[in-house]
Structure 1
Amino acid sequence: FERTDNLRLRLAPWDIGEPNLKNGNCVVLKIGRNGPAWYIDDCMKRKPIVCRLTNEEPMSMVPQTVRCPDGKEDWILGETHCYHLVSNISMFSSGFKADHDCFKVSIKVF
């Protein structure tokens, strides 16, 4: 993930029960009693933001050129790629098995 001002992003852990794609497909940082944590939320929902005044021209919106495959509505659309997030703990894997599992998912797309 990257900030809109291109400054380095400090990583935080996922919040308890996250990532949960039933809540949406945008990643949001929440500051709670235990510190910052990431959670998934509806992209169209209003969220608090921190703004700073500047004399610079605002960044222009870049039209989206990437499209996720048909039938993959649960995938997350990124700037240059589509991402499949596994939220079922029984399907979690790591290392070479994770690479293999990702390959199997992507090969079914094309």
Structure 2
Amino acid sequence: MLFERTDNLRLRLAPWDIGEPNLKNGNCVVLKIGRNGPAWYIDDCMKRKPIVCRLTNEEPMSMVPQTVRCPDGKEDWILGETHCYHLVSNISMFSSGFKADHDCFKVSIKVF
């Protein structure tokens, strides 16, 4: 999965909401602004959702070439400002706690 704004600028990633990612809810990632701040959750892609628009009188910024990229073999990972993120979508690979740390380490050194 790749998350991209319509202006092609990178996203500043927020944490997953409590109980997320829950792939039983759908396969689209949506940002929700709650009282604890922004959080990602998964929802049905066919549901109508609000959008965020930015209006300005300023000239649009010129596109700056992206100089940061994920390592070779990990181009399908999600590029953040300083890190690359891998979203596990196979439910059999879900884990938590110390096992999650270990599993993430294994995935990060494995070249796909």
Q: TM (normalized to structure 1)?
A: 0.51
Query: More relative contact order in 1 or in 2 (CA 8 Å, sep 6+)?
Result: 2
Deviation at 1:38, TM superposition (A): 0.2
SS of 1:66's equivalent in the other structure is coil
Query: What's the RMSD between the two structures over aligned residues?
Result: 6.4
CA spacing shift, 1:44–1:55, aligned 2, 3 Å: farther
Unaligned runs of 5+ in 2: none
Partners of 2:65 and 2:42 in 1: how far apart?
23
Matched, 1:85 2:87: yes
> C-alpha separation between the residues in 1 aligned to 2:96 and 2:59?
43
Which of 86-95 and 47-56 deviates more?
86-95
Taking a change above 3 Å as real, the CA distance of residues 12 and 53 of structure 1, as seen in their structure-2 partners, is closer
1:87-107: CA deviation from partner (whole Å, max 9, x where unpaired): 798844699998998999999
Contact preservation (8 Å) 2:10, 2:79: no
Deviation of the 1:39 alpha carbon: 0.2
Percent of residue pairs bearing the same amino acid type: 100
Unaligned runs of 5+ in 1: none
- Structure 1 residues 22 and 70: alpha-carbon distance in aligned structure 2, compared to 1, 3 A threshold: farther
